[in-house]
Amino acid sequence: MSNAHEARVAVVTGGSGGIGREIVERLATDGFSVAVHYSGSADRAEQVVRSVTDANGSAFAVQADVADEDAVSAMFDEVTSRYGGVDVIVNTAGIMMLAPLAETSLETFDRTMRTNVRGTFVVSQWAAKNLRDGGALINFSSSVVKLALPTYSTYAASKGAVDALTLILAKELRGRNVTVNTVAPGPTATPLFLDGKSDEQVKQMAGMAPLERLGEPADVAEVVAFLAGPARWMNGQTIYVNGGVI
């Protein structure tokens, strides 16, 4: 592949996670130089970087609290210093804590909104001002916004906000040649999804899709790669990647 400063550059927030890692590896395979963002999992982020560099790709790990504007600005300064600029941002960083609404603490609500909504807002704001011509911002929502499953009220509310931010930002960037879309996965076999669920619950959710399986991180990465590369006429959309659950 070309050297790092000639390649297109992607930043993947939450790049050490299940879907995030798959996206990093897929974009690196497509020739991107990739910044692997992490919040607290430095070891996992370095594992992702090694998987890319072992395959002759270019990647490095960078830490930031996505809800802290100064930390996000410093993160992008580091990426720009290393790679010269940013073409694609994939915003997978997020948290999910489940409970019935009546039993959800305000601390849980505030923490979820801080990461999932404020974090998306802060990163999107940087993207709006700084992505290079021909760039793409790909935010992450969830199919649960429409599925309306019990115990998901806080998480779904945070992702509904992401949908709204994304659709409006796409219109605000008129004339910039930057696309803004949201990917909304359904039930996907990641640690975030599987944590705390019984085998019976997992089996039940796998059966919701007509394809009768859970999604895999690679299924989601395929759509992200499309939006990051050839999908220049897809803009201002929420794309449900869920095997037909809804």
pLDDT in tens, 44-94: 999 999 999 999 999 999 999 999 999 999 999 999 999 999 999 999 999
pLDDT band for position 2 (cuts 50, 70, 90): very low
- Can you tell me which residue has the tokens 């039993």? 103
Q: Using alpha carbons, list the distances in angstroms from residue 23 to 77, 97, 185.
A: 22, 23, 13
Task: Kindly state the percentage of the chain with pLDDT values over 90.
Answer: 89
Q: What's the one-letter identity of residue 12?
A: V
Task: Kindly state the percentage of the chain with pLDDT values over 70.
Answer: 98
Comparing 6 with 34, which gets the higher pLDDT? 34
Helices (H), 12-149: 18-29, 42-53, 69-83, 106-113, 119-130, 144-147
Phi-psi sector, 171: left (phi>0), alpha (psi -120 to 50), beta: alpha
| 29 belongs to a structural domain | yes
Query: In the numeric block, which tokens belong to residue 161?
Result: 């906000």
pLDDT of 238 over the 60 cut: yes
pLDDT of 160 over the 90 cut: yes
pLDDT at 192: 72
pLDDT band for position 195 (cuts 50, 70, 90): confident
Q: What CATH number should be reported for the domain holding residue 41?
A: 3.40.50.720
In angstroms, the CA 174 to CA 57 distance is 33
Residue range(s) defining the domain that contains residue 38: 9-241
State the DSSP code for 186.
Answer: -
Q: What's the one-letter identity of residue 170?
A: A
* Residues known to be catalytic: 155
Burial of 129 (0-12, 13-18, 19+ CB in 10 A): exposed
Cβ-contact 89, 66 below 8 angstroms: no
pLDDT of 197 over the 90 cut: no
| 221 belongs to a structural domain | yes
pLDDT at 1: 36
Total domain count for the chain?
1
| 1 belongs to a structural domain | no
Q: What is the mean pLDDT of the chain?
A: 95
| 4 belongs to a structural domain | no
| 170 belongs to a structural domain | yes
In angstroms, the CA 209 to CA 230 distance is 27
| 246 belongs to a structural domain | no
> Directed axis angle between helix 42-53 and helix 18-29, to 10°?
20
Tell me what the mean pLDDT of segment 178-192 comes to. Answer: 93
| 39 belongs to a structural domain | yes
pLDDT at 173: 98
